[in-house]
Amino acid sequence: MAGQVLLTVVTVGALLAGCGSDQARTQTSTSITQWTTALPSASTAKPRDMLQRHAQRYPTLTVSLLACDAPAPSDARCGEAIMAIRDVAVSTEQDIQKMDGQKYPEIAETVETLRGFADLLKELNCFGLSGKAPDQNQASLCATNARLVTVLWMKLRTDIDNAR
């Protein structure tokens, strides 16, 4: 488990290091597009298939997520991406819970943490999620918490890819 966490942290660090480059954005967009194609039937579905199915409801999620790279506290595109991530994660986890006889506590834990940070962003009035602007103290927390949600999204994808 500690090895998986370290691998996830290293992967996230590498991804965040390249966030500012066009090449990194193109590579991320391409890999996620490839990742969300060709779904199997429902009877043979695995956690990854469930995530892919729910992610397809948001075809611009990859591009929208780029808006959360150093966003302004009022950036509505980042808010939309955060809520899309939250929706996909929660819907996927609910489907996974319905699977017969299989438990994935690491996925449930990641989704619960992601949901908490996304909900906190709404409480802080970040990114237009509550219909009003954040006050100065709250605004300073918006970008940091948005990055945490995107890191948790990457961790969730890793957890799901590792699920058997």
The domain locations on the chain are 45-162
What is the b/e burial string over 100-114, where b = at least 16 CB atoms within 10 angstroms of the residue's CB? eeeebebbeebbebb
3-state class (DSSP) for residue 38: coil
Which one-letter DSSP state was computed for residue 131?
S
Would you call 141 exposed, middle or buried from its count of C-beta atoms within 10 A (0-12, 13-18, 19+)? middle
Sequential pLDDT tens for the chain (164 residues): 444 443 444 344 434 444 444 444 444 444 444 444 444 445 567 888 888 898 898 887 777 777 788 888 888 889 999 999 999 999 999 998 887 667 889 999 999 999 999 999 999 999 999 888 888 888 889 999 999 999 999 999 999 998 87
Measure the N-to-C terminal CA separation of the chain; round to a whole number of Å.
Answer: 15
Can you give the C-alpha Rg of the chain in angstroms?
A: 16
Angle at 47 between CA 147 and CA 103, to 5 degrees: 100
pLDDT of residue 89: 94
Angle at 144 between CA 139 and CA 145, to 5 degrees: 90
The rounded distance, in Å, linking the Cα atoms of 141 and 163 is: 32
